[in-house]
Amino acid sequence: MTIEGADLVKAAALLGAGLSMGLGAIGPGVGEGMAAAKACEAIGRNPKEAGLLTRTMLVGQAVAESTGIYSLVIALLLLFVV
């Protein structure tokens, strides 16, 4: 197997895409889970405010998602554009 320059670059791009999305999914997963856990507890304490609490949780999770979306964008860029 002879490794040439362009092939090596492409291999590096593919590996980078995988690592980017793979490692990038760890943080948002844990963070959004924490948000969901605390929202469940809050609704348990105060069920009348369920609608407001759900909306707050979703907004907070959407913001926490942003780094995950950055990882996805970089991964897709590495796959298709570079």
Partner 1 sequence: MDRLGEIHQLIIPLPGYTVTINLEVLVMTGIVFFLALTFGFAAGRKKSLLPGPVQVIGELIVTQLYGLTEEALGKTHAKTYAPLICALFIFLLISNWLGILPHLEEPTRDLNTPLSLGILGFVIAHYVGIKEKGFKIYIKSYFEPVFFLMPLNLIGELAKIVSISFRLFGNIMGGAIIILVVSYLTYSILLPPFLNVFFGLFVGTIQAFVFTMLTVVYISVQLK
Partner 2 sequence: MTLLAVDNQTLTQIAAYVGGAVAMGFGAIGAATGEGYTASRAAEAIARNQEHSGVIIKNMLVGQAISESASIFSLVIAILLLFMDVSDPSIVKAAALLAAGLCMGFGAIGSGVGAGVPAGRSCLAIARQPATAGRITTNMLIGTAVCQTPAIFAMVVALILLFKPIGSVAAFPTCAALIGAGLSTGLAAIGSGYGGGMAAGASCEGVARQPETTTAVTTTMLVGQAVSQTPSVFGLLVSFILIFKSFPASTTLSASVGLLSAGLCMGLGGIGPGIGNGMAAEGAVRWVARRIEYAGDLMRIMLVGQAVSQSTAIYAMVVSLVLIFVV
User: Are residues 24 and 68 in contact, defined by beta-carbon separation less than 8 angstroms?
Assistant: yes
Identify the three-state secondary structure at position 81. Answer: coil
74 contact, one of partner 2, partner 1, none, CB 5-8 Å limit per kind = none
54 near partner 2, rule: CB under 8 A = yes
Contact residue for partner 1 among 13, 35, 42, 58 (CB under 8 A)? 58
Burial class (CB in 10 A: 0-12, 13-18, 19+), 7: exposed
36 near partner 1, rule: CB under 8 A = no
Residues that bind partner 1 (CB under 8 A): 55, 58-59, 62
